[in-house]
Protein backbone atom coordinates (compact mmCIF):
# COMPACT_ATOMS: atom_id res chain seq x y z
CA UNK A 1 0.00 0.00 0.00
CA UNK A 2 1.20 3.49 -0.85
CA UNK A 3 -0.08 6.44 1.17
CA UNK A 4 -0.07 9.44 -1.15
CA UNK A 5 0.25 13.14 -0.46
CA UNK A 6 -3.22 14.73 -0.38
CA UNK A 7 -1.92 17.40 -2.76
CA UNK A 8 -1.78 14.72 -5.47
CA UNK A 9 -5.40 13.74 -4.82
CA UNK A 10 -6.88 12.37 -8.05
CA UNK A 11 -8.98 9.27 -8.70
CA UNK A 12 -9.54 8.00 -12.27
CA UNK A 13 -13.07 8.62 -13.53
CA UNK A 14 -13.98 11.14 -10.81
CA UNK A 15 -14.20 14.92 -10.75
CA UNK A 16 -15.05 17.34 -7.94
CA UNK A 17 -15.34 21.01 -7.05
CA UNK A 18 -16.51 23.32 -4.29
CA UNK A 19 -17.78 26.92 -4.39
CA UNK A 20 -19.42 29.65 -2.34
CA UNK A 21 -23.06 29.71 -3.43
CA UNK A 22 -24.44 32.14 -0.86
CA UNK A 23 -25.71 29.72 1.79
CA UNK A 24 -23.07 30.94 4.23
CA UNK A 25 -22.90 34.63 5.03
CA UNK A 26 -19.11 34.71 5.43
CA UNK A 27 -18.20 34.08 1.77
CA UNK A 28 -16.71 30.68 2.58
CA UNK A 29 -17.30 27.72 0.26
CA UNK A 30 -20.60 25.96 0.94
CA UNK A 31 -21.49 23.75 -2.05
CA UNK A 32 -19.59 20.70 -3.34
CA UNK A 33 -20.16 18.24 -6.18
CA UNK A 34 -18.51 14.86 -6.73
CA UNK A 35 -19.12 13.21 -10.10
CA UNK A 36 -18.26 9.86 -11.66
CA UNK A 37 -18.00 9.67 -15.43
CA UNK A 38 -19.66 6.23 -15.35
CA UNK A 39 -22.11 4.35 -13.17
CA UNK A 40 -20.57 3.42 -9.84
CA UNK A 41 -21.32 0.93 -7.11
CA UNK A 42 -22.48 2.87 -4.03
CA UNK A 43 -22.63 2.03 -0.33
CA UNK A 44 -23.66 4.24 2.58
CA UNK A 45 -23.70 4.43 6.36
CA UNK A 46 -26.05 6.85 8.10
CA UNK A 47 -26.71 8.36 11.52
CA UNK A 48 -28.66 6.33 14.07
CA UNK A 49 -30.14 9.46 15.59
CA UNK A 50 -33.93 9.03 15.52
CA UNK A 51 -34.21 12.58 14.18
CA UNK A 52 -32.90 12.32 10.61
CA UNK A 53 -32.31 15.12 8.13
CA UNK A 54 -34.02 15.09 4.74
CA UNK A 55 -30.81 14.07 2.97
CA UNK A 56 -30.43 11.03 5.24
CA UNK A 57 -34.01 9.93 4.58
CA UNK A 58 -33.59 10.41 0.83
CA UNK A 59 -30.22 8.66 0.57
CA UNK A 60 -31.21 5.75 2.81
CA UNK A 61 -33.81 4.84 0.20
CA UNK A 62 -31.63 5.54 -2.84
CA UNK A 63 -28.63 3.55 -1.64
CA UNK A 64 -30.65 0.33 -1.73
CA UNK A 65 -30.10 0.34 -5.49
CA UNK A 66 -26.34 0.06 -4.89
CA UNK A 67 -25.71 2.45 -7.79
CA UNK A 68 -24.98 6.13 -8.37
CA UNK A 69 -23.17 8.80 -10.34
CA UNK A 70 -22.87 11.93 -8.19
CA UNK A 71 -23.01 13.54 -4.74
CA UNK A 72 -24.15 17.12 -4.13
CA UNK A 73 -23.33 18.42 -0.63
CA UNK A 74 -23.92 21.75 1.07
CA UNK A 75 -22.76 23.26 4.35
CA UNK A 76 -24.34 26.09 6.34
CA UNK A 77 -27.83 24.56 6.41
CA UNK A 78 -28.65 21.08 7.73
CA UNK A 79 -32.13 20.88 6.15
CA UNK A 80 -33.14 18.88 9.25
CA UNK A 81 -36.45 19.19 11.10
CA UNK A 82 -37.87 20.84 7.97
CA UNK A 83 -40.77 18.45 7.28
CA UNK A 84 -42.24 17.84 3.85
CA UNK A 85 -40.74 21.01 2.42
CA UNK A 86 -37.25 19.91 3.47
CA UNK A 87 -37.65 16.50 1.86
CA UNK A 88 -38.99 18.15 -1.29
CA UNK A 89 -36.00 20.51 -1.35
CA UNK A 90 -33.59 17.56 -1.01
CA UNK A 91 -35.29 15.83 -3.95
CA UNK A 92 -35.22 19.06 -5.96
CA UNK A 93 -31.50 19.47 -5.27
CA UNK A 94 -30.86 16.01 -6.72
CA UNK A 95 -33.05 16.78 -9.74
CA UNK A 96 -31.30 20.09 -10.44
CA UNK A 97 -27.88 18.46 -10.21
CA UNK A 98 -29.01 15.56 -12.39
CA UNK A 99 -30.20 17.99 -15.06
CA UNK A 100 -26.91 19.87 -15.07
CA UNK A 101 -24.87 16.65 -15.17
CA UNK A 102 -27.06 14.83 -17.69
CA UNK A 103 -27.78 11.87 -15.40
CA UNK A 104 -30.88 10.41 -13.72
CA UNK A 105 -32.05 12.00 -10.44
CA UNK A 106 -32.01 8.60 -8.73
CA UNK A 107 -28.25 8.45 -9.33
CA UNK A 108 -27.58 11.71 -7.43
CA UNK A 109 -27.10 11.61 -3.65
CA UNK A 110 -27.60 14.67 -1.46
CA UNK A 111 -25.85 15.69 1.76
CA UNK A 112 -26.27 18.70 4.04
CA UNK A 113 -24.65 20.00 7.22
CA UNK A 114 -25.11 23.13 9.29
CA UNK A 115 -27.85 24.72 11.36
CA UNK A 116 -30.89 22.54 12.14
CA UNK A 117 -34.38 23.88 11.45
CA UNK A 118 -33.58 26.17 8.53
CA UNK A 119 -34.72 25.66 4.94
CA UNK A 120 -32.34 25.40 2.01
CA UNK A 121 -32.17 28.59 -0.11
CA UNK A 122 -33.15 26.77 -3.30
CA UNK A 123 -32.52 29.62 -5.81
CA UNK A 124 -28.95 29.90 -4.50
CA UNK A 125 -28.58 26.11 -4.57
CA UNK A 126 -29.73 25.96 -8.21
CA UNK A 127 -27.36 28.72 -9.33
CA UNK A 128 -24.52 27.21 -7.31
CA UNK A 129 -24.97 23.76 -8.83
CA UNK A 130 -24.82 25.17 -12.36
CA UNK A 131 -21.62 27.05 -11.50
CA UNK A 132 -19.96 24.10 -9.73
CA UNK A 133 -20.77 21.66 -12.55
CA UNK A 134 -19.02 23.97 -14.98
CA UNK A 135 -15.89 23.94 -12.80
CA UNK A 136 -15.67 20.18 -12.13
CA UNK A 137 -12.06 19.01 -12.26
CA UNK A 138 -10.00 15.92 -11.54
CA UNK A 139 -8.00 18.11 -9.15
CA UNK A 140 -10.93 19.82 -7.41
CA UNK A 141 -10.94 17.76 -4.24
CA UNK A 142 -9.50 20.31 -1.82
CA UNK A 143 -12.14 22.79 -2.96
CA UNK A 144 -14.84 20.17 -2.37
CA UNK A 145 -13.40 19.34 1.06
CA UNK A 146 -13.46 23.03 2.01
CA UNK A 147 -17.06 23.40 0.83
CA UNK A 148 -18.42 20.79 3.27
CA UNK A 149 -16.73 22.34 6.34
CA UNK A 150 -18.67 24.05 9.13
CA UNK A 151 -16.66 24.72 12.30
CA UNK A 152 -13.70 22.75 10.92
CA UNK A 153 -10.36 24.53 10.94
CA UNK A 154 -8.94 22.69 7.94
CA UNK A 155 -10.11 20.37 5.11
CA UNK A 156 -9.58 16.63 5.58
CA UNK A 157 -8.34 14.43 2.72
CA UNK A 158 -6.71 10.99 2.54
CA UNK A 159 -5.59 8.88 -0.44
CA UNK A 160 -3.88 5.51 -0.92
CA UNK A 161 -3.00 3.16 -3.79
CA UNK A 162 -2.57 -0.60 -3.94
CA UNK A 163 -2.14 -3.34 -6.53
CA UNK A 164 -5.45 -5.22 -6.54
CA UNK A 165 -6.62 -7.72 -9.13
CA UNK A 166 -3.67 -6.99 -11.41
CA UNK A 167 -4.20 -3.22 -11.53
CA UNK A 168 -3.30 -0.14 -9.53
CA UNK A 169 -6.37 0.82 -7.49
CA UNK A 170 -6.84 4.21 -5.82
CA UNK A 171 -9.02 4.79 -2.75
CA UNK A 172 -9.49 8.32 -1.46
CA UNK A 173 -11.79 10.27 0.81
CA UNK A 174 -12.73 13.68 2.10
CA UNK A 175 -14.52 14.41 5.36
CA UNK A 176 -15.81 17.19 7.54
CA UNK A 177 -16.27 17.07 11.27
CA UNK A 178 -15.14 19.00 14.32
CA UNK A 179 -17.85 19.12 17.00
CA UNK A 180 -20.94 17.05 17.80
CA UNK A 181 -18.78 13.97 17.24
CA UNK A 182 -19.67 10.59 18.74
CA UNK A 183 -20.19 6.99 17.53
CA UNK A 184 -23.05 5.98 15.29
CA UNK A 185 -21.17 8.46 13.18
CA UNK A 186 -21.02 12.07 14.32
CA UNK A 187 -21.64 15.54 12.91
CA UNK A 188 -19.63 14.45 10.00
CA UNK A 189 -19.88 13.90 6.31
CA UNK A 190 -17.46 11.57 4.57
CA UNK A 191 -17.26 10.84 0.86
CA UNK A 192 -14.99 8.06 -0.34
CA UNK A 193 -14.28 7.34 -4.00
CA UNK A 194 -12.34 4.55 -5.64
CA UNK A 195 -11.70 3.32 -9.15
CA UNK A 196 -11.85 -0.26 -7.89
CA UNK A 197 -14.06 -2.77 -9.65
CA UNK A 198 -16.03 -4.24 -6.73
CA UNK A 199 -19.63 -5.37 -6.28
CA UNK A 200 -22.10 -3.23 -4.33
CA UNK A 201 -22.74 -5.89 -1.64
CA UNK A 202 -19.01 -6.38 -1.10
CA UNK A 203 -18.47 -2.60 -0.98
CA UNK A 204 -21.22 -2.23 1.60
CA UNK A 205 -19.77 -4.95 3.81
CA UNK A 206 -16.29 -3.44 3.60
CA UNK A 207 -17.60 0.05 4.41
CA UNK A 208 -19.56 -1.13 7.44
CA UNK A 209 -16.50 -2.93 8.81
CA UNK A 210 -14.28 0.06 8.15
CA UNK A 211 -16.71 2.48 9.82
CA UNK A 212 -16.79 0.35 12.94
CA UNK A 213 -12.98 0.42 13.16
CA UNK A 214 -12.67 4.15 12.60
CA UNK A 215 -15.52 6.66 12.80
CA UNK A 216 -17.33 4.64 15.46
CA UNK A 217 -14.20 4.73 17.63
CA UNK A 218 -13.93 8.51 17.99
CA UNK A 219 -15.59 11.05 20.24
CA UNK A 220 -15.23 14.80 20.66
CA UNK A 221 -18.21 15.72 22.82
CA UNK A 222 -20.59 12.75 23.07
CA UNK A 223 -23.26 14.12 20.71
CA UNK A 224 -24.52 12.39 17.56
CA UNK A 225 -26.07 14.55 14.84
CA UNK A 226 -29.07 14.34 12.53
CA UNK A 227 -27.13 14.52 9.24
CA UNK A 228 -24.19 12.13 9.60
CA UNK A 229 -23.35 9.96 6.65
CA UNK A 230 -20.62 8.19 4.75
CA UNK A 231 -21.06 7.55 1.04
CA UNK A 232 -18.61 5.40 -0.91
CA UNK A 233 -18.56 5.20 -4.73
CA UNK A 234 -16.57 2.61 -6.71
CA UNK A 235 -16.64 3.20 -10.48
CA UNK A 236 -14.45 0.31 -11.72
CA UNK A 237 -12.23 2.55 -13.87
CA UNK A 238 -9.11 0.68 -12.70
CA UNK A 239 -10.23 -2.40 -14.63
CA UNK A 240 -9.06 -4.80 -11.93
CA UNK A 241 -10.44 -8.31 -11.48
CA UNK A 242 -13.29 -8.18 -8.99
CA UNK A 243 -12.19 -9.38 -5.53
CA UNK A 244 -13.67 -12.69 -4.51
CA UNK A 245 -15.12 -13.46 -1.11
CA UNK A 246 -12.35 -13.98 1.49
CA UNK A 247 -9.71 -13.40 -1.21
CA UNK A 248 -6.33 -11.74 -0.77
CA UNK A 249 -7.47 -8.94 -3.05
CA UNK A 250 -10.49 -8.27 -0.83
CA UNK A 251 -8.25 -8.14 2.24
CA UNK A 252 -6.01 -5.64 0.47
CA UNK A 253 -9.01 -3.51 -0.48
CA UNK A 254 -10.27 -3.61 3.11
CA UNK A 255 -6.86 -2.58 4.43
CA UNK A 256 -6.77 0.40 2.05
CA UNK A 257 -10.30 1.46 2.97
CA UNK A 258 -9.48 1.13 6.67
CA UNK A 259 -6.39 3.30 6.22
CA UNK A 260 -8.42 6.06 4.57
CA UNK A 261 -11.29 6.02 7.08
CA UNK A 262 -9.01 5.87 10.13
CA UNK A 263 -6.86 8.68 8.77
CA UNK A 264 -9.94 10.85 8.27
CA UNK A 265 -11.41 9.88 11.65
CA UNK A 266 -8.24 10.92 13.46
CA UNK A 267 -8.19 14.20 11.55
CA UNK A 268 -11.72 14.88 12.77
CA UNK A 269 -10.63 14.43 16.40
CA UNK A 270 -7.49 16.52 15.94
CA UNK A 271 -9.77 19.26 14.59
CA UNK A 272 -12.22 18.92 17.50
CA UNK A 273 -13.81 22.25 18.30
CA UNK A 274 -11.27 24.12 20.43
CA UNK A 275 -9.23 20.96 21.02
CA UNK A 276 -5.66 21.33 22.26
CA UNK A 277 -4.97 17.61 22.91
CA UNK A 278 -5.30 14.48 20.77
CA UNK A 279 -5.54 11.34 22.89
CA UNK A 280 -5.36 7.65 22.03
CA UNK A 281 -7.19 5.88 24.84
CA UNK A 282 -6.62 2.14 25.20
CA UNK A 283 -8.52 -0.19 27.52
CA UNK A 284 -7.03 -3.65 27.80
CA UNK A 285 -7.64 -6.63 30.03
CA UNK A 286 -11.43 -6.39 29.67
CA UNK A 287 -13.79 -9.34 29.93
CA UNK A 288 -14.83 -9.09 26.25
CA UNK A 289 -14.54 -6.65 23.30
CA UNK A 290 -17.94 -5.06 24.01
CA UNK A 291 -16.97 -4.24 27.59
CA UNK A 292 -13.54 -2.99 26.47
CA UNK A 293 -15.12 -0.49 24.08
CA UNK A 294 -17.80 0.53 26.58
CA UNK A 295 -15.19 1.27 29.23
CA UNK A 296 -12.94 3.15 26.82
CA UNK A 297 -15.80 5.26 25.50
CA UNK A 298 -17.03 6.09 29.00
CA UNK A 299 -13.65 7.62 29.81
CA UNK A 300 -13.14 9.20 26.40
CA UNK A 301 -16.45 11.12 26.46
CA UNK A 302 -16.39 12.11 30.15
CA UNK A 303 -16.58 15.89 30.40
CA UNK A 304 -14.64 15.78 33.68
CA UNK A 305 -11.84 13.75 32.14
CA UNK A 306 -11.75 15.97 29.06
CA UNK A 307 -11.55 19.20 31.07
CA UNK A 308 -8.76 17.70 33.20
CA UNK A 309 -6.87 16.93 29.98
CA UNK A 310 -7.27 20.55 28.91
CA UNK A 311 -6.01 21.72 32.29
CA UNK A 312 -3.06 19.28 32.06
CA UNK A 313 -4.14 17.88 35.42
CA UNK A 314 -3.25 14.20 36.01
CA UNK A 315 -6.49 13.69 37.94
CA UNK A 316 -6.74 9.91 37.63
CA UNK A 317 -9.70 9.84 40.03
CA UNK A 318 -11.88 11.15 37.20
CA UNK A 319 -10.79 8.26 35.00
CA UNK A 320 -11.54 5.75 37.75
CA UNK A 321 -14.95 7.30 38.38
CA UNK A 322 -15.84 7.12 34.69
CA UNK A 323 -14.82 3.45 34.58
CA UNK A 324 -16.96 2.68 37.62
CA UNK A 325 -19.93 4.37 35.97
CA UNK A 326 -19.48 2.64 32.61
CA UNK A 327 -21.48 -0.47 33.48
CA UNK A 328 -18.62 -2.88 32.72
CA UNK A 329 -17.28 -5.55 35.01
CA UNK A 330 -14.29 -3.96 36.73
CA UNK A 331 -12.61 -3.96 40.12
CA UNK A 332 -10.75 -0.85 41.21
CA UNK A 333 -8.34 -3.00 43.25
CA UNK A 334 -7.16 -4.67 40.00
CA UNK A 335 -7.06 -1.59 37.77
CA UNK A 336 -3.90 0.09 36.46
CA UNK A 337 -3.81 3.49 34.73
CA UNK A 338 -0.99 4.97 32.65
CA UNK A 339 -0.61 8.38 31.05
CA UNK A 340 2.14 7.95 28.52
CA UNK A 341 4.73 5.77 30.28
CA UNK A 342 3.87 7.19 33.69
CA UNK A 343 2.11 4.61 35.82
CA UNK A 344 -0.35 6.70 37.83
CA UNK A 345 -2.37 3.88 39.37
CA UNK A 346 -1.46 0.29 40.27
CA UNK A 347 -4.12 -2.05 41.62
CA UNK A 348 -6.42 0.89 42.27
CA UNK A 349 -3.94 2.95 44.25
CA UNK A 350 -2.19 6.17 43.25
CA UNK A 351 1.57 5.94 42.87
CA UNK A 352 2.48 9.23 44.51
CA UNK A 353 3.71 12.69 43.58
CA UNK A 354 6.56 11.52 41.36
CA UNK A 355 4.13 9.63 39.14
CA UNK A 356 1.82 12.65 39.06
CA UNK A 357 4.72 14.88 37.97
CA UNK A 358 5.70 12.47 35.19
CA UNK A 359 2.11 12.26 33.98
CA UNK A 360 1.75 16.05 34.07
CA UNK A 361 4.73 16.38 31.74
CA UNK A 362 3.05 13.98 29.29
CA UNK A 363 -0.15 16.02 29.45
CA UNK A 364 1.71 19.11 28.22
CA UNK A 365 2.26 17.36 24.88
CA UNK A 366 -0.14 17.86 21.95
CA UNK A 367 -0.62 14.10 21.49
CA UNK A 368 -0.29 11.25 23.96
CA UNK A 369 -1.72 7.88 25.04
CA UNK A 370 -3.74 6.80 28.06
CA UNK A 371 -3.74 3.08 28.89
CA UNK A 372 -6.13 1.42 31.31
CA UNK A 373 -5.66 -2.24 32.27
CA UNK A 374 -8.68 -3.79 33.97
CA UNK A 375 -7.01 -7.20 34.51
CA UNK A 376 -10.35 -8.92 33.93
CA UNK A 377 -9.70 -10.72 30.64
CA UNK A 378 -7.91 -10.47 27.30
CA UNK A 379 -10.06 -8.05 25.30
CA UNK A 380 -8.98 -4.54 24.34
CA UNK A 381 -10.33 -1.45 22.57
CA UNK A 382 -8.84 1.81 21.29
CA UNK A 383 -10.76 5.10 21.13
CA UNK A 384 -9.50 8.45 19.91
CA UNK A 385 -10.64 11.57 21.75
CA UNK A 386 -9.62 15.13 22.61
CA UNK A 387 -9.86 17.59 25.47
CA UNK A 388 -12.61 20.14 26.05
CA UNK A 389 -11.50 23.74 26.18
CA UNK A 390 -12.94 27.21 26.75
CA UNK A 391 -13.01 27.59 22.97
CA UNK A 392 -15.46 24.66 22.64
CA UNK A 393 -17.97 26.57 24.78
CA UNK A 394 -17.43 29.80 22.80
CA UNK A 395 -17.93 28.06 19.45
CA UNK A 396 -21.13 26.29 20.45
CA UNK A 397 -22.58 29.15 22.48
CA UNK A 398 -22.56 31.31 19.35
CA UNK A 399 -23.07 28.66 16.64
CA UNK A 400 -26.18 30.25 15.08
CA UNK A 401 -24.95 33.82 15.42
Q: What is the structure's pLDDT at 177?
A: 82
| Mean predicted confidence (pLDDT) in 136-140 | 97
- The Cα 94–Cα 108 span in angstroms is 5
On the question of pLDDT at 180 being above 80, the answer is no
Q: What is the structure's pLDDT at 397?
A: 73
Q: What is the structure's pLDDT at 178?
A: 65
| Mean predicted confidence (pLDDT) in 251-272 | 94
The pTM assigned to this predicted structure is: 0.93
On the question of pLDDT at 276 being above 70, the answer is yes
* Closest alpha carbon to 97 in 89, 85, 105: 105
Q: What is the structure's pLDDT at 141?
A: 97
Strands (E), 287-346: 336-339, 342-346
Q: How far is CA 182 from the centre of its chain?
A: 9
Q: What is the structure's pLDDT at 187?
A: 55
Q: Which residues are catalytic?
A: 187
On the question of pLDDT at 274 being above 70, the answer is yes
Segment of 219-228, 264-273, 288-297 carrying the highest mean pLDDT: 288-297
Q: What is the structure's pLDDT at 181?
A: 47
| Mean predicted confidence (pLDDT) in 99-103 | 98
On the question of pLDDT at 11 being above 80, the answer is yes
- The Cα 61–Cα 8 span in angstroms is 34
DSSP state of 350: E
Give, in order, the Cα–Cα distances in Å from 26 to each of 23, 29, 75, 315, 323. Answer: 9, 9, 12, 41, 43
CB-CB contact of 219 with 383 (8 Å)? yes
In the chain, residues under CATH classification 3.60.70.12 are 2-268
Strands (E), 241-289: 278-286
Q: What is the structure's pLDDT at 220?
A: 77
- The Cα 324–Cα 339 span in angstroms is 19
On the question of pLDDT at 186 being above 70, the answer is no
State the pLDDT confidence band at 393, using cuts at 50, 70 and 90: confident
Q: If 0-12 CB within 10 Å is exposed, 13-18 middle and 19+ buried, where does residue 239 land?
A: middle
State the pLDDT confidence band at 391, using cuts at 50, 70 and 90: confident
Q: What is the structure's pLDDT at 1?
A: 95
Task: Please state which of the ranges 220-229, 320-329, 390-399 shows the lowest mean pLDDT.
Answer: 390-399
- The Cα 198–Cα 97 span in angstroms is 26
In the chain, residues under CATH classification 3.10.20.340 are 278-397
Phi/psi at 333 (nearest 5 deg)? -75, -5
Query: Please, which residues have CB within 8 angstroms of residue 128's CB and are 6 or more apart in sequence?
Result: 19, 21, 22, 23, 30, 31
Mean pLDDT of the chain: 93
Query: Please, which residues have CB within 8 angstroms of residue 12's CB and are 6 or more apart in sequence?
Result: 170, 195, 235, 237, 238
Q: If 0-12 CB within 10 Å is exposed, 13-18 middle and 19+ buried, where does residue 234 land?
A: buried
CB-CB contact of 194 with 171 (8 Å)? yes
CB-CB contact of 97 with 129 (8 Å)? yes
Give, in order, the Cα–Cα distances in Å from 39 to each of 108, 109, 137, 142. Answer: 11, 13, 18, 23
Widest distance between CA atoms in the chain: 69
| Mean predicted confidence (pLDDT) in 226-252 | 96
The better pLDDT of the pair 56, 390 is held by 56
CATH architecture of the region 2-268: 4-Layer Sandwich (3.60)
Strands (E), 61-187: 67-77, 108-115, 156-164, 167-176
pLDDT tens-digit readout, 31-70:
999 999 999 999 999 998 889 999 999 999 999 999 999 9
Q: What is the structure's pLDDT at 389?
A: 84
On the question of pLDDT at 394 being above 90, the answer is no
Task: Please state which of the ranges 161-165, 201-205, 383-387 shows the lowest mean pLDDT.
Answer: 383-387
Number of H helices, E strands in the chain: 11, 15
pLDDT tens-digit readout, 352-381:
999 999 999 999 999 999 999 999 999 999
CATH class of 278-397: alpha beta
CB-CB contact of 41 with 198 (8 Å)? yes
| Mean predicted confidence (pLDDT) in 286-292 | 97
| Mean predicted confidence (pLDDT) in 308-324 | 96
State the pLDDT confidence band at 184, using cuts at 50, 70 and 90: low
What is the percent of the chain with per-residue pLDDT over 70, rounded to a whole number?
A: 95
Amino acid sequence: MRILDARSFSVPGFKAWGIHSGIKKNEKKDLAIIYSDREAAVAGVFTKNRVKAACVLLNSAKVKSGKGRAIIANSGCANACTGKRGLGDARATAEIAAGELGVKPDSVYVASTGVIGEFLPMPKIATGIATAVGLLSTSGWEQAAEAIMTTDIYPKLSIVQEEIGGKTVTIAGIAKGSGMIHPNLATMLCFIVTDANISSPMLKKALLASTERSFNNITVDGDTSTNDMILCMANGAAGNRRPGTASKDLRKFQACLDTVTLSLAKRVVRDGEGATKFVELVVRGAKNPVEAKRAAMAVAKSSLVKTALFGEDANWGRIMAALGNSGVEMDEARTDIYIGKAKLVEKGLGQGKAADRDASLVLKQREFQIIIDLHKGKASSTIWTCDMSYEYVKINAAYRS
